[in-house]
Amino acid sequence: MKDTLVKTAGKDSMLLLTDRPPNLETPLKYFLLDYTPNNVFFVRWHLAGLPATIDKDTFRLRIGGNVMQQLALSVEDLKTKFTPYTINALCQCAGNSRSFFDPRVPGGQWKNGAMGNAKWTGVKLSDILAMAKVKSGAKEISFNGLDRPPMDSTPDFVKSLPFDLANNGEVMVAYEMNGEALPLLNGYPLKLVVPGWYATYWVGMLSDINVLTDTFNGFWMKKAYLIPKDRANGNESPDSLAKNMQPINKMDVRSIFVSPEPNDVIAASKTTDIRGVAFDGGDGIQKVEISTDGGKTWNVATLEKNLGKYAWRHWRYAFTPLQKGNYTLKVKATNINGETQPEHQWNRSGYMRNEIETLIIQVQ
């Protein structure tokens, strides 16, 4: 299918998936950069009821539920009453690369561009919770944003996290991405950042934080974003669907090619730098291996600068093909726990794809 590129409010040319709600994919070439620029950072909204503008002066982040002190904080309060915190982290949609599942599955037909690496600045959620003085018995925290369902038929987008994770000192409320205010389409003015976890938890236009003494039962935790339980890589098969499901959580180890791109032509007897990124849920990448013969033999790629355990890691491999023709390249990452990528993977919702990536290039 041919890509549709569009320029929308505050964004440069991106791949259009849907325009209402806005769903935009980042062109692959930007993944050569350490940080994905805000004006091409992917966009994913579930509900079409998005505010067109948000007044920073009247906006308040409300913290309530099982706390001694309910809070209503302005963005200015977050900037002045707390110690700023910055972390580099990859934000990857659970459905990134869904279009490559075979057999195909319904949902946004993303290629590999439903992710981005950014420097997030804001306040640790644990600091906000300390100010609100959480009472004993807290079990989960739910997070809601300003977006609303256009009709009552779709449930509002609300997500929850286990209390201990939410309070771990890394989960944060970001008011800046790559040193600037967040674009409206990426959740201005505040986005929850959950390093290492799929982006479905990174609630944008975050307006309500609710400390709960029980399990949250909302639609977006109990019916959507479920993966097969206790199965490696969230795997199941169309003729034997998993019976036990659980909410998606930490990201699987993965690597992708960034350059060359599919169908690019490279020169024989010359060296081409094959480049890409690798990442996992925050344990750290141990090695990236490349095959240039369809998976028969593997060679180690060079890992580039470490931007932090929750960020992606660029890698590079010098490839000098001697013969003309088509080459089948493969890339496979392994993290420090020895976890690696499967040869084949499928699930009904097209989540957490991390199958070993294949790239076919022409040598001339």
Ligand X SMILES: Nc1nc2c(c(=O)[nH]1)N[C@H]1C(S)=C(S)[C@@H](COP(=O)(O)O)O[C@H]1N2
* Region of residue 131 (left: phi > 0; alpha: psi -120 to 50; beta: else): alpha
- Interface with ligand X by CB under 6 A: which range of 37-45, 125-133, 265-273, 283-291? 37-45
204 binds, among Mo ion, ligand X, none (CB under 5 to 8 A by kind): ligand X
Positive/negative CA dihedral, 169, 170, 175, 179: positive
147 binds ligand X (CB under 6 A): yes
- Interface with ligand X by CB under 6 A: which range of 36-44, 71-79, 235-243, 256-264? 36-44
> Alpha-carbon distance 360 to 210, whole Å?
48
The identity of residue 4, as a single letter, is T
Residue nearest to ligand X (CB): 145
For ligand X, which is the closer residue by CB, 202 or 346? 202
Q: How many helices (H) and strands (E) does the chain have?
A: 4, 25
101 binds, among ligand X, Mo ion, none (CB under 5 to 8 A by kind): none
46 binds, among ligand X, Mo ion, none (CB under 5 to 8 A by kind): ligand X
249 binds, among Mo ion, ligand X, none (CB under 5 to 8 A by kind): none
28 binds ligand X (CB under 6 A): no
**What pairing do the DSSP bridges indicate for beta strands 61-65 and 206-212?**
parallel
Map the footprint of Mo ion across residues 194-213, applying CB under 5 A. Answer: 199-200
For Mo ion, which is the closer residue by CB, 228 or 260? 228
For ligand X, which is the closer residue by CB, 147 or 236? 147
Distance between start and end Cα atoms, the chain: 25
Q: Binding string, 170-189, against Mo ion, x = CB under 5 A? A: --------------------
CA of 337: how far to CAs of 125, 201, 252, 258, in Å? 28, 24, 12, 25
The identity of residue 314, as a single letter, is H
Closest approach, Cβ 68 to ligand X, in A, equals 27
- Judged by CB under 6 A, how many residues of this single chain contact ligand X? 20
From the list 15, 43, 93, 194, which residue makes contact with Mo ion (rule: CB under 5 A)? 93
Token pair of 133 as six digits: 């003085």
From the list 318, 341, 321, 320, the residue with the least C-alpha distance to 331 is 341
From the list 30, 31, 35, 45, which residue makes contact with ligand X (rule: CB under 6 A)? 45
203 binds, among Mo ion, ligand X, none (CB under 5 to 8 A by kind): ligand X
Helices (H), 206-284: 219-222
> Alpha-carbon distance 226 to 246, whole Å?
5
From the list 170, 168, 212, the residue with the least C-alpha distance to 193 is 170
44 binds ligand X (CB under 6 A): yes
Cβ–Cβ under 8 Å, residues 70 and 132: yes
- Interface with Mo ion by CB under 5 A: which range of 90-98, 204-212, 261-269, 291-299? 90-98
Closest approach, Cβ 95 to Mo ion, in A, equals 5
Contacts of 53 (CB under 8 A, 6+ apart): 184
- Residue 26 has phi, psi (to 5 degrees) of -80, 130
**How many CB atoms neighbour CB 156 within 10 A?**
16
Map the footprint of ligand X across residues 167-226, applying CB under 6 A. Answer: 186-187, 199-200, 202-205
36 binds ligand X (CB under 6 A): no
The binding site for Mo ion (CB under 5 A) comprises: 44, 93-94, 199-200
The binding site for ligand X (CB under 6 A) comprises: 41-47, 91, 93, 145, 147, 157, 186-187, 199-200, 202-205
